[in-house]
Amino acid sequence: MRVKTNSGKHESGQIPEPTLRRLPGYLSFLKALKANNLEYVSSGQIAQNFKMDSTLVTKDLAYTGIKGRTKIGYEVDKLIQTIVSFLDFDQQEKAFLFGVGNLGKALIKYQGLQSYGLHIIAGFDTDPAVINTTLNNVKIHSIDEFRDLSRKQNVRLGIITTPDAKAQETADLMVAWGIKAIWNFTPQSIKVPDNIIVENTSVYSDLAVILNRLNQ
Amino acid sequence: MRVKTNSGKHESGQIPEPTLRRLPGYLSFLKALKANNLEYVSSGQIAQNFKMDSTLVTKDLAYTGIKGRTKIGYEVDKLIQTIVSFLDFDQQEKAFLFGVGNLGKALIKYQGLQSYGLHIIAGFDTDPAVINTTLNNVKIHSIDEFRDLSRKQNVRLGIITTPDAKAQETADLMVAWGIKAIWNFTPQSIKVPDNIIVENTSVYSDLAVILNRLNQ
DNA sequence: CAGTGTGAAGTTGTTCACAGCA
DNA sequence: TGCTGTGAACAACTTCACACTG
C-alpha cells in the first residue's frame, strides 16, 4: 500500500502531469473569486466552472496538501497561497531566452510570466539589430556572451524561441553551459542528455486539436 | 468488436487527443528527413527521435489511414501528405483574432501558422493606436466592425489574446456572431454554450510542469 | 530477419459510490 | 444536508507479445 505523506510539496511520488496542468487554471479562477471577496469555495464550484467532475478537483487539490472543511469548502486565500507555493510560482526561477523574434519578444514583454515565477533575465540573438537593445528591462546579448553570463548567473532554465532550424544547436549550447531544463517553443524535437528536462510547447498541437474538433 | 473503416479522415470514432497532439511533431521530423532526401522511415526511427515506444507511433499513424510496408516502413513523402491532410493543415481555416497586444501581434506575424492551415484574416482591438494599422497584411479593426465583417466572411474560428479580464466578454461577442470554435490564450476559463468548441492554450500549465520537474 | 499490424495486458487517470463530518 | 475525502470501478492510453509479410 502506498502511503501518501502529503506534507505539502516535493514529496517522493511524482505529481500527475494532468493535475499540474489544471492547477494554474484553478488559480486563475480563485483569484477572480478573491477579487469578488468570496472567502470560501467548494470543489463543486470549481468543477462547475471548468465543466469537470468535482472529485477530480478534490483529488487535484489534495496533492497540494491543503485540507478543506466539510460543508464549507476551502479557504480561497489559503488555497491560492497553497497552489502558488506548490507550483513554485513564488520562487522567481531565472531563465535565459534564445531567439528574440516575434514570439521571443512577446514572452519577454509578457508581464504575466513574471508574477508566475518566471524571470527572464537575458535574451540572446544573432541579429545585430536586436543585440544590445533592451526589452522590458531585459537586455539582449550576442550569443557569444552566453558563456560568460551563465558563469556569473546560476540559471537553470533556457527558453528556445529561435527559428526551427536553430533549435538543436541552441539546445546543445545550453546543455554545454549548464542549463538543466529547456522550454522549447519550436516544433522540432531536440536531442539532449537524459538528465536534462525538456518541455515542448507547440502551438501546432493545439491547432491540430481545434481543427479536428471543428471538422469532425 | 469495433470495426475500423480507416478510410482516411473524418471517420466516426473520435481521434484520441494525445495522438492529435503528437502528429504535428512527427510532421516536423518527417520534413527534416525529407530535406535530407530520405525516402522511407520506420516507426522505430520516429519513436527513437521522440524517445517513445514504436508501437505507439504505429498506432498513431494507423489513425491517418496510411499503410506501411513491412521491412521498409512508410514513404516519407506520402506520410507527410497524409498527416497534413488528416490534420486539415491544408485547408486554410480562416480566423479572427481579438486583442492585438504582444502575443496577438506575435501570432499574426508568425508565418508558421499560415503554412499549417491557419489564416488569420483580421485582428480586432480597442486601442486606437493599433486600429487601422496593418500587420503582415492583416488589418486591425475596431471591435464594432466585427459584426459586419463576420457577416461578410464565414469565419468559424476566433482567437482570444486579450487581457484576461476581457476574455469572457470577447467570447460572448464571438458566440453571438457565429464563431464555432474559440482558441483561448488567456488563463481565464470562459463560459460558452455546449456546441462551441474551446481550446485553451495556457503557457502557465507548461510552466507548472517545468518548475515541478526542476524542483522535484 | 526487420519491419508492420493488432489483440491482450498493464498502467495511468477519471468517475462513481459511499463513509464521515459539522 | 452539503460538503470533503477515499477506495473501488471504469475508461483511456500505452506497452507488451506475437502473428504476419516480403
Find where cell 454554450 sits. B193
User: With 60 as the cut, is the pLDDT of residue B6 above it?
Assistant: no
pLDDT at A120: 97
Q: What residue type is assigned to position A54 of the chain?
A: S
- Whether CB of B101 is under 7 Å from strand D: the answer is no
pLDDT tens per residue, range B93-148: 999 999 999 999 999 999 889 999 999 999 999 999 999 999 999 999 999 999 99
Query: Which residues in chain A have Cβ-Cβ distances shorter than 8 Å to B49?
Result: 189, 191
* Strand D: positions under 7 A of a protein C-beta atom: 1-7, 12-17, 20-22
Distance CA A102, CA A125 (A): 12
Strand partners, A138: A135
In CATH, what number does B2-86 get? 1.10.10.10
Residue A91 has pLDDT above 80, yes or no: yes
Nearest residue to A212 via CA among B72, B21, B56, B177: B21
Would you place residue B12 in the very low, low, confident or very high pLDDT band (cuts 50, 70, 90)?
low
- For residue A171, pLDDT over 90 is answered with yes
Provide the mean pLDDT of chain A: 93
Q: Are B167 and B184 in contact (CB under 8 A)?
A: yes
Q: What is the pLDDT of residues A174-202, one digit of tens each?
A: 999 999 999 999 999 999 999 999 999 99
Q: What is the pLDDT of residue A216?
A: 87
Output the pTM of the full model: 0.94
Residue with smallest Cα–C1' gap to D4: A70
User: Chain C positions under 7 Å from a protein CB?
Assistant: 1-7, 12-17, 20-22
Residue nearest to nucleotide D20 (CA to C1'): B70
* pLDDT, tens digit (0-9, with 9 covering 90-100), for A49-85: 999 999 999 999 999 999 999 999 999 999 999 999 9
Whose cell is 485547408? That residue is: B91
Look at residue A6 and tell me whether its pLDDT is greater than 80. no
- pLDDT of amino acid A124: 98
Residues forming a β-bridge with B139: B122, B134
The residue count of chain A comes to 216
**A92-143 pLDDT per residue, tens:** 999 999 999 999 999 999 988 999 999 999 999 999 999 999 999 999 999 9
Taking 70 as the threshold, does the pLDDT of residue B5 lie above it? Answer: no
The confidence band for B216, taking pLDDT boundaries of 50, 70 and 90, is confident
Q: Which residues pair with B123 in a beta bridge?
A: B97, B140
pLDDT at B13 over 80: no
User: Is the CB of B102 less than 8 angstroms away from the CB of A105?
Assistant: yes
Phi, psi torsion values for B127, nearest 5 degrees: -80, 115
Please report the pLDDT score of residue A128 as a whole number: 98
Q: Is the pLDDT of residue A156 over 70?
A: yes
Q: What number of residues does chain B have?
A: 216
Torsional sign, CA A140, A141, A146, A148: negative
CATH code for the part of the protein at B93-206: 3.40.50.720
Name the residue ranges covered by the structural domains of chain B.
2-86, 93-206
Q: Which of A106, A197, A213 sits opposite B197 (nearest CB)?
A: A213
A56 touches strand C (CB under 7 A): yes
Per DSSP (E only), the strands in chain A are 40-41, 74-75, 93-98, 118-125, 134-135, 138-142, 157-160, 181-184, 197-200
Give me the sign of the Cα torsion angle B50, B55, B61, B67: positive
Distances (CA, A) of A174 to A119, A162, A184, B135, B142: 17, 13, 12, 33, 43
pLDDT tens-digit series, residues B19-36:
999 999 999 999 999 999
pLDDT at B165 over 70: yes
Strand pairing report for A134-135 and A118-125: unpaired
